[in-house]
Amino acid sequence: MSDPRTAAPSRRDVLRAAAVLAVAAGLGGCGKSDPETTGGQVTVDLWHGQTDTAKKALDALIAEFNRTHPDIAVIGGGGGVTADSMLQKVTAGLAAGSYPDVAYIFGSDLASITRSPKVADLSGQLQLDAVWPAAKAAITVKDKVRAAPALLDSLCVVYNKKLFAAAGLPAPKAGWTWDDFVATAAKLTNPAKGVFGTGWPGVGDEDTVWRLWPMIWDLGGDVVSEDGKKVGFEQAGEQALATLDKLRTDKSLYVDPKPGGEQLYQVFLGGRMGMVATGPWQLPDILDRKLDYGVVPLPSYSGKAVTISGPDTWTVFDNGSARVKAATEFVRWMLDAQQDVRWDLQGGSLPLSTTTAALPQWKKHAAETSGLQVFVDALETARVRPTITAYPQISEHLGTAIVSVLLGKKSPADALKECVEQSNAVLAVPS
């Protein structure tokens, strides 16, 4: 999924990871000399892929770090690609023996990239006591801390108050069910006015898939079984897909045919969609359009709140001990609440820690931004996708299943059966 803070968000394009797994697994190679210095400073090459407001915020933080750490010079060139393409860029660099000291890596890609021995182990190097559990889980691979948290989000439902009023519907409230969601979407739908109840990405990428995991978790399923030998969503997945199928047959669902959910969000921003599951990165665009909106937690089957978070990471690479030490110092500094709150306010992240969330600057920002606190509160029950190398391929198979249901090409049972067989075959191959 792309950087959530861009104007046209495309959350995580995990599927491209599958194409590079084999390459990443065998990476060793040679890196840069230890240490590389410029005028007595240790140079840290940072590839971040941020654009627009987020880049401006990061540039300011890098400048302050360099000013307050005269022995280190962080060069934030960005790597020449956006965050969406960073995994490919870094993987190619590792294969060629020319790679950064720090890169912005999506959390769902971390397990894949850590197959390279050049990814530093940060266990014991970061202060993580107050970091949200979802962020800690996203940086942990095989019980080792392999990165620092860089960005945090959560998934909730944003709704259009004007469309709810026009349909004579009360605003949704925390504790609502997926049956409530389906019924509400049907009542919001107005074909004569081109209004849809809700929408879902329909290209089979990670943006299509990650929205289904909270539904599966809520039903007692999981991405993989406890022993890791098979998927854990054989029953729960069918019920979750049946919910999508009901939205389809009710004709209340807009299926976005383009990657990144660009059209889906444009339909919502244009006032022609009643509800959309999204993250806090969408709020600036909603505010710019001056939509009268509200934010509510995701529905559930069980009555218990559950959502998903898709944290991103600062991953450190080994270009020698001096540069690893300097790079680690930089990501540790970024994690500190005083820097984190600036990054959150200007770059678009939720607070990485409860310490940051308690700062007056964040509290003021949350109070002034309608619905933002709902996304923060959702972090209490947020889960993340497992940091396993097989995940991108499982996601690809589940994405195909979801699209086949969204387009009415297969029943939930048939689509899931094929997905489970393909995913179990992936898990049967030793990683």
Please work out, in degrees rounded to the nearest 5, the angle formed at the alpha carbon of residue 199 by the alpha carbons of 194 and 204. Answer: 130
Place of tokens 């790679």: 99
For 369, the token pair is: 């931004």
List, for residues 192-220, the tens digit of each pLDDT value: 999 999 999 999 999 999 999 999 999 99
Distance CA 138, CA 71 (A): 31
Amino acid identity, position 52: D
Residues with Cβ within 8 Å of 136's Cβ and at least 6 positions away in sequence, in order, are 128, 149
Mean pLDDT value of segment 324-338: 98
How large is the average pLDDT for residues 128-140?
96
Cα separation, 280 vs 241, in Å, equals 25
Return phi, psi of residue 312, to 5°: -105, 165
User: Which tokens sit at 362?
Assistant: 């964040």
What average pLDDT does the segment 320-346 reach? 96
Helix or strand (DSSP H, E) at 243: helix 236-249
In the prediction, which pLDDT does 98 show?
A: 93
Using alpha carbons only, what angle is made at residue 242 by residues 239 and 246, rounded to the nearest 5 degrees?
145
Confidence of residue 148 (pLDDT cuts 50, 70, 90): very high
- Hey, what are 237's tokens? 């997945």
Whether the full predicted model's pTM is greater than 0.75, yes or no, is yes
**Architecture of the 15-153+310-379 domain:** 3-Layer(aba) Sandwich (3.40)
Do 156-308+390-427 and 15-153+310-379 have the same topology in CATH?
A: yes
Q: Can you give the pLDDT at residue 13?
A: 35
Q: Which of 290, 310, 276 lies closest to 370, judged by CA?
A: 290
CATH class of 156-308+390-427: alpha beta
Q: How far is CA 254 from the centre of its chain?
A: 22
Predicted confidence (pLDDT) per residue in 347-384, tens digit: 889 999 999 999 999 999 999 999 999 999 999 999 99
Domain ranges of the chain: 15-153+310-379, 156-308+390-427
CA quadruple 62, 66, 71, 77: dihedral sign = positive
> Cα separation of 31 and 20, whole Å?
19
